[in-house]
Structure 1
Amino acid sequence: MDGEQESIALEAPAPIEPVEPNEPENLEATEPVEPGEGEDEEAREPGPDDEDLEEFDWDGKKIKGPKGLKDGVLRQADYTRKTQEIAETRRELEERAQRIDQQSKAGEEEMNARAALISIDSDLKSYENVDWDAWETQDLFAAQAGFRKFQQLKAARGEVAGYLGERQKARTDQAQQETAKRLQETRRYAETQIKGWSEEVDKKVTDFATKELGFTWDMLKGAYNPAVYKTLHLAWLGHQAVNTKPNAPAPKLTEPLRVVAAKANPPARKNLAEMSMEEYVAHRQKQDAQ
């Protein structure tokens, strides 16, 4: 038994001594390592060379990117622009369809109102020659009923006439707004697209359209848009070109006639215009002596 106890004691594990916790490292004391320090220069990943880049405009700025990126970016920009144009066109078409639908409904209502007005006027006409006093004497209750009907017809006519007046005013206001919008668009087109345009040119184009082509100002207001104005401007330029007289050419200077002596083999004589003053005096004296 003693031998067994001794062997057990020998096999018992030794007590574990506590381990002191390691002190935290001072991170601030660690020297910073520069990027790339200690690395092999050849191991670094090379960036793109300038030869592999191309410069192009994007949103009003100059940028550089890998070759091939420009085409993709421009295609995307073109796609975005066309998509926006399609969306804008679709919106305009939808608004136009709504306006047409509203105008159609308003037109039907206005037609019904005009028909009602005609019917009311026809009924009112039957009361034009009524002698209300005589009718009351003859049949008081019938006269009172007839007078109430007459008043109702007059009130109904006032309402229908007022509605038609409002519709007419609305159409007039809309037409004036559309005319003002077209004239503004035409003016903006002329200022930006017609070379050399000015207020004076505009007046000349208008005078040409009214005096030479027979338009009135109301007709021009109703027809003016960028395409019509461009046509009139080109017509005015052509009219100017046709009716402008070319500058007269400068007269050619003719040489004075040379005096030829009636002799065989006459000596060459100078032109009077080529003579000096002394030669001209001698020439005159010789002529006087002859």
Structure 2
Amino acid sequence: MSTEDTTLSTDSFAEMLSGGADNEQTEQSDSQSADDAQENSEGTDQQDGSTEGDDAQDGGDDNGEAGEEGQDEQPAKDSTEAFLELEINGEKVALTKDEAKNGYLRQQDYTQKAQRLAQERQQWDAHVAQQAAEVKQYAKEIGQLHSIDAALEHYERIDWEQLRAEDPVSFGAHLAEFNDMRLRRGQMETAITQKLQSLTAQQQQAQAQARAQQTAEAQAHMAALVPGFGKEHVAEMKAIGQKAGFTDAELAGVTDKRMLEVLWKASQFDKQQNTKQQAIKKVSALPTKAAKAAPAAKPAAQLHIEKQTRRLQQTGSVKDLAAALAMTS
């Protein structure tokens, strides 16, 4: 998942979008056609109603009322025709043409997806069955090879010179069988080695395909999660992964869309925290006003004089005046 090696393919996305746009355009065209037809129908009804109204006015009030009743009944007929009555799960449901069409398209899409999944499941089951058969055959051949090895070990303990001297006929038969067995063992060993290589290659190919599919799904998931997802986002995810202690090799092996989403959200949270800390530092660096000194407390004697003065102002008594003068002297 390195920044330089990561290539985000968007061709499939463009095809999906273009296909989606065509479907949307088709639906809009059908909807527009339906709206135009409805407007034309309403225009025709209004013209007919106007003509009937004129005839009714010329013919008398009774005909006018009949014309108005005809106009009232026409929209009800049109509104009834605009709905389709269907029976779904034993229940009758009234749907518009657009609702019925959208429901059909959803059902068709679901059916296609279900069929595709069923086909992929059949292919996978066939692949698993083939792999199981090959492994079974491989195990069988390994067992035969072990049996040949046991027989060859028995032949290797024979004193061939003594056997040739004592029984030349038996010597020739056993030697031919020994040579044939060695030849068969060599051929079987070669076949087993080739089959093992083939199984290993198939396994590696299957792993590569699974990894490619998982990577494509992860890219699609991230593209849907993050608008404009690209290399700069991958760099942020790599940085947060390294910060958490992951190695480059471990990060390069991450293809699970869930892990990628976690890395993305972690990178965004880390970015928000950094932005918050930078804002706090900027505010802390701003100059601050010096705090105002608190006013000194007045002495008790001064407070007593002020209290006596206020009392003198209220009473005007000679006694209070004498007391105030005594405090200030």
Range class of TM-score, shorter chain: 0.5 to 0.7
Q: 1:151 — aligned with what? A: 183
State whether residues 121 and 157 of structure 1, in contact with CA within 8 Å, keep that contact through their aligned partners in structure 2: no
**Distance verdict in 2 for CA 1:195–1:57, change over 3 Å:** closer
Q: 1:130 aligns with which of 153, 156, 160?
A: 156
> TM-score, normalization: structure 1?
0.57
Q: Structure 2 length as normaliser, TM-score? A: 0.51
Cα distance in 2, alignment partners of residues 71 and 90 from structure 1: 28
**1:191 and 2:220 correspond:** no
Q: Identify the structure with bigger relative contact order (alpha carbons < 8 Å, sequence gap 6+).
A: 2
**Distance in 2 between residues matched to 1:141 and 1:158, nearest whole Å:** 26
Q: Does 1:227 align with 2:258?
A: yes
Greater C-alpha Rg? 1
Deviation string for 1:153-191 (max 9, x for gaps)?
220221122122112101111211221222133223323
1:236 aligns with 2:267: yes
Structure 1 pair 218–166 and aligned structure 2 pair: CA distance change class (3 A): farther
1:204 is aligned to 2:236: yes
Match of 1:163 among 168, 171, 195: 195
- Partner amino acid for 2:156? V
Q: Are 1:117 and 1:160, in contact at CA under 8 Å, matched by a contact in 2?
A: yes
* 2:104 maps to 1:71: no
Q: Which string of whole-angstrom CA distances, capped at 9 and with x for unpartnered residues, describes residues 36-55 of structure 1? A: xxxxxxxxxxxxxxxxxxxx
Structure 2, unpaired ranges of 5+: 1-23, 39-78, 84-94, 166-170, 294-329
**Partner AA of 2:117 in structure 1:** E
Structure 2 residue 287 is the aligned partner of structure 1 residue 251: yes
Is this contact kept in 2: 1:205–1:232, CA < 8 A? yes
Query: In the alignment, does 2:195 pair up with 1:172?
Result: no
Query: 1:252 aligns to what SS in structure 2?
Result: coil
The Cα of 1:196 is off from its aligned counterpart by 5.4
Distance in 1 (CA, whole Å) between partners of 2:252 and 2:115 is: 30
Partner AA of 1:100 in structure 2: D
Counterpart Cα distance in 2 of 1:218 and 1:155: 42
Whole-angstrom CA distance in 2 between matches of 1:113 and 1:205: 45
Give aligned pairs, total: 205
The 1-side partners of 2:110 and 2:256 are apart by 21
> How many angstroms does 1:193 deviate by?
3.2
CA distance in 2 between counterparts of 1:59 and 1:102 reads 41
Q: Aligned AA for 1:89?
A: A
Aligned partner of 1:87 among 101, 112, 124: 112
Q: Percent identity?
A: 10
Relative distance call for 1:207 and 1:133 in structure 2 (3 A) is farther
Given the superposition, is the C-alpha separation of residues 179 and 57 from structure 1 closer, same or farther in structure 2, using an over 3 Å criterion?
closer
